Structure 1
Amino acid sequence: MSDSTGRYLISGAGLGAGSGTDLLIEDGRIAAVGAEAAGSNAEVIDASGLIALPGLVDMHTHLREPGREDAETVETGSAAAAQGGFTAVHAMANSSPVADTAGVVEQVHHLGLRAGWVDVRPVGAVTIGLEGQRLAELGAMAGSRAGVRVFSDDGICVADPLLMRRALEYVKAFDGVIAQHAQEPRLTEGAQMNEGAVSAVLGLAGWPAVAEESIIARDVLLAQHVGSRVHVCHVSTAGSVELIRWAKQRGIKVTAEVTPHHLLLTEDLVHSYDPVYKVNPPLRTDADVQALRAGLADGTIDVVGTDHAPHPSEAKDCEWAQAAMGMTGLETAVSVVQQTMVDTGMLDWDAVGRIMSTGPAAIGQVPGQGRPLAVGEPANITLVDPSARRQVEPSAMATKGRNSPFAGRELPGAVIATFFGGHPTVLDGRLNTPVQEAAAWSK
């Protein structure tokens, strides 16, 4: 289903807390809003009862390509992103080869343009080969055609404080941000799950909260000393929330993200020994979950990042100790946020736009994304049906990964349409077609 003129009228959509409004899309931009949009010669998308949000932006996606195409590709991962309502994703650097040079980040960027489902923004590695020994080509990646602004060794902590300081100093020159995977390696050797009563009962090596919190404490102080920006990936403990709140109160340039799975799931699920629940950082206690929700609601935690981490079946269909860590998340993110934050009354839909679109777009400096739904703005739009209920079926997803922790669960809400640069990549809840000239929307 496609309109050759590129004109679409989204009719009757709710804008945040507002009532039904019309949006006219023309030539990739929002041409009119409200009464001025009515009566246009355009293909009509009935959005009655739907919520219109700025196109979602993910700070934390693992697309695996190059090198691990058995787990995911830029094509399949970005299609999954579109299906989940995203119009831009940040592709993490732990591919093979690692995205630690201008050449590799440009390759990932080009693959995203060719796929055409979303704006793929490569994340550059902080250190060469993610080895934590020497800084990667940060300046070259920033100056490349990919225009990298976020750097992370995600999956591995930049544990050396001197190296972390140097990275913060380096990216300050072009207003980049270091996204830290906060995990003190000496405190988590052999760790299998959250350290506590459940790990003691199950006999699994514990992963203490302080391993995360100690790195956050160190890094916010380094960021303060340098005057640079640090972003904390996948915050998972109540103590981490308090540290970030403390840092923000002192004007330190820190931002943070929380994953959908850490907003909903707890360590109690590990009683099943099902490796689908094995993740880094691990699922924590209910008290941690409640603190994360409160931190997201009050702005201590800035954004939701999916940490979409697909794996081939053999990496998960094995015993717990040998299983890979990670969960898929792109196609369920909106539903989990609705269940944990909107349906509980902690956030409204305007706030969802902030934590899943405008916030991550601002942190990652993604041009044309996270913009208000107003005349003249790029038509990156997500339509969500908050009244829908659906059962999660991993086999029906666009991602190659089948390791969804929500498999078989009923979740609220559904993405009905995704517009990327004025083109409907998703219509009626199903993938439509990619953008043929995606390069035009990445500038």
Structure 2
Amino acid sequence: MHFEDFDASPAAAPAGAASSGPVRSTRLQYLIDNTPALIYCTVPSGDFKMTFVSNNAFNMLGYRPDEMLADPNFWFDHIHPEDKPRIVASLAEVFTEGQRVYEYRFRAADGRYLWMHDTLRLIRDETGRPLEVIGALTDITDRKAMEEALTAKGVEQQQLIGKLREAHEQLLQSEKMASIGQLAAGIAHEINNPIGFVNSNMGTLQGYVGALLDLIDAYDRAIAGDASLVERMAPMRQVADLAFVRGDVISLIHESIEGLRRVKEIVHSLREFSHVGETEWQLADLHRGLDSTLNIVANELRYKVSVITEYGNLPLVECRASQLNQVFMNLIVNASQAIAGKGKIRLRTGAQDGWVWIEIADTGGGIAPEHLTRIFEPFFTTKPVGSGTGLGLSLSYGIVTRHGGRIDVRSLQGEGSTFTTTFTVWLPQRSPHPAGGAAAA
């Protein structure tokens, strides 16, 4: 591009023109050199060798125009390697569309990459043949920095919103569990008294029925020698179906007593879920508790589950050991019941920043996402009717919470060789109840 191309001869200048062609050329040179954009021209061929660069290149990039013109590959060689393929792939469109706009990073003389807004335009001669390509480079580094800062701020805000939402959900869960605990305590209190006297009455009734059956046996023996009396009593015995009643009444009483025993256990579990137990706080070895729990539930696991223990180094933990053993038992039994055929249960432990953690994982079928928020609610269970009360996890939740800890759970659907469901119990090494005291282990 030559500035004399822009000159107008005096003969061609209109009458009264205030300036001559050279003056306009000087003015045009001044405008180009002082515009915020770097103006450049290239040949309309594949190498895009520069044929003109405005003098403000030095102020913008630190290069002198003659330095940029001397290197035929200067433009390509200074584009950021990550941006170059995108530009090269679409440069041909300059010749079909006549104009293209790019944003890319360009290496300045000091080694920094500056973001550039580049507008390329194809110039053709009178016959339509490509003559040259004119480009206008504008430094948009500050704008890009602001965009990146706004994007980062947006991501940070989304993360903050996510944390607030998570905290809100945890608060709702805590409030719900507190309400359920109060409800459970009320139910346990109301049921406990009538269950007590019904259980007592059933014990007395069992004695009465036994005495009556003994009395009937005595009468039978007394009349055995009187054939006429035996004959008279035979129709009455047949109507009463005494043989069936004798066996059935004993079975009914035993089933009723067993049912009352189960109700008492449920009431006891509700009270444990709602209230702190009677045991003292003490320093305990949780590994011993885990091992003893495995011994207790060995029959539940035998022939079905292989247990993998990966114990870390645990300090003594200030706790109510018997209650934590109940938590371990509930989680291990649940893990075993989640495995349909044969599978594995893994117990891992560790300590971190004043906390200890106990992880119980299984290879069962996993927990459905819609059930994850409800598994700690009393009476909620996915087991068949009669197979569980739905109090094991709620009781465990209450015990761990009273110890100042928490239970985390993660689960993947689909039974397999991998560990699909993992419960992690987090406990502080020292009790959050300093008044409780801790005895020597």
Q: What TM-score do the two structures reach when normalised by structure 2?
A: 0.20
Q: Which has the higher helix share?
A: 2
Greater relative CO, 1 or 2 (CA 8 Å, sep 6+)? 1
Q: What TM-score do the two structures reach when normalised by structure 1?
A: 0.20
Larger radius of gyration: 2
